[in-house]
Amino acid sequence: MNFYYESAKIIDQLDAKQGSIQSCLANMDVKQRKRAAALVIETLKYRAPLNEIIHTTSLMSIEKRYLKSPSLALILTHDLLLAKGGIQAKDGPVKQAVLRHKTRLQAEWVKLKIKRGAKSDMEMAQEDEREAQGYTQVKGISETSLKEFHIDEHIQNLLVFPPKTSLLADAAYEGGMVILQDKASCFSAAILAPLPGSVVIDATAAPGNKTTHLSALMNNTGRVIAFEKDKRRFATLEKMVSKAGCKNVETNCQDFLQVQPSDSAFSQVTHILLDPSCSGSGIVGRLDYLLENGEDDESEKEERLKKLSIFQRQIIEHAMQFPSVIKIVYSTCSIHPEENEHVVRDALVASGGRFELVPRSEVLPAWLRRGLDTEFRAHEAQSLIRCSPEDGTNGFFVACFRRTQGRRKRKDVISVPDEVISGCGIAEDAYNKGKRKRRRKRGVESEQSEDEVEEWGGILS
């Protein structure tokens, strides 16, 4: 019965908004996590009709001595009516408290199905109506996966699979040759587009999809300094980086906001990727839709968005303090302008003219959905990228900042192969045609020839 108690606690935590379904499940014992995930998710899918019959049968009031938790009653009722083996626990007073009402609960369930016109139990479940295509990044196309796919038109080495395609048991996935990721999430690293040999920070790196993508874009050269403050997520990050074979990634279990930009260890950082915590309102298939009950206070939502936007602006402003940074990408999986256009606008103002938005011509110009001109100046809104489930992706937002101080004075240039530019859809304006030595502001010198810049670097992302 302890398993049911622990699962009920997860639902209580979700109701108290103490985390997402995934994060609450992550706190459970690893041996029970998979089973708990299935039980909690399935119970939440049937929550509304189950609560209705629990109320109709007065189960909680009749058995108040043993069923003191509504979440426990909900989970036990779910397994009684919908699980193949019924309630999987040793006999005891709590189990018996539910079994005593088995006949009545089953009868009320049948009556409710008839009332709702449901021909099966599955039709009583709450489902997420949104659906997106599946995407995976690979280091090259091979016959390791004999599944239907096509090549993405915007992101280099990105394969597009039909919805619900499973690659989890595929040898390419298990061997670290591919990483599953929504297309929109690939935009962040592709737009940042650090050249091989660059020094890059991934400020909130776990689980590691964008980190490994950066590593691939840099041909596994230079340095990707990845920060993640949460210990559990940090472990996931390390595992993914190792599995992907990234040799240029340095992982740090540390809060990016506690890092000192003036530290000499970061004097050569030129690119920073920011993908901070957000509402996640754009994620297709997000399990938290199961928690939507229409009763949330609008003021609570506004307050949460306000707190998130303050943090998001803070992390952008912190990134702008790194002395050698020339390019910053900020992204969210949110659809709310409060976390997107508003944050970008405020960050630009706070920069005092030190940073500007990179123009559309250098930020995936072929992508049609741009920023909201109702929330931003029209010409600058074109510099921003938005994604929607209508595009076959999650809801997503990307903004790219670049430093303005001394940008026009810099005469040193470096050549970049056309395939790198076209593959990422953007190019740093400082890197023009020619083959001349590049002198950074901090006195660091580097030189690369076209032969040294190979397409996609031999590791997946």
Would you name the residues annotated as active-site residues?
A: 333
How far is Cα 442 from Cα 448, in angstroms, rounded to an integer?
Answer: 18
Per DSSP, 401 falls in state E
How far is Cα 426 from Cα 217, in angstroms, rounded to an integer?
Answer: 13
368: closest CA among 356, 389, 386? 386
**DSSP letter string over 176-235?**
TSEEE--HHHHHHHHHH-PPTT-EEEESS-TT-HHHHHHHHHTTT-SEEEEE---HHHHH
Q: What are phi and psi of 228, to 5 degrees?
A: -155, 120
How far is Cα 307 from Cα 305, in angstroms, rounded to an integer?
Answer: 5
How far is Cα 93 from Cα 87, in angstroms, rounded to an integer?
Answer: 13
At 25, which amino acid appears?
A: L
At 268, which amino acid appears?
A: Q
How far is Cα 115 from Cα 129, in angstroms, rounded to an integer?
Answer: 22
3 state SS for 60-99: HHHCCCCCCCHHHHHHHHHHHHHCCCCCCCCCCHHHHHHH
Q: Are strands 396-403 and 327-332 parallel, antiparallel or unpaired?
A: antiparallel
Per DSSP, 389 falls in state G
How far is Cα 381 from Cα 237, in angstroms, rounded to an integer?
Answer: 33
Asked whether the beta carbons of 427 and 421 are under 8 A apart, the reply is yes
* Number of continuous H segments (helices) and E segments (strands) in the chain: 16, 14
User: Which tokens hold the place of 326?
Assistant: 């020339």
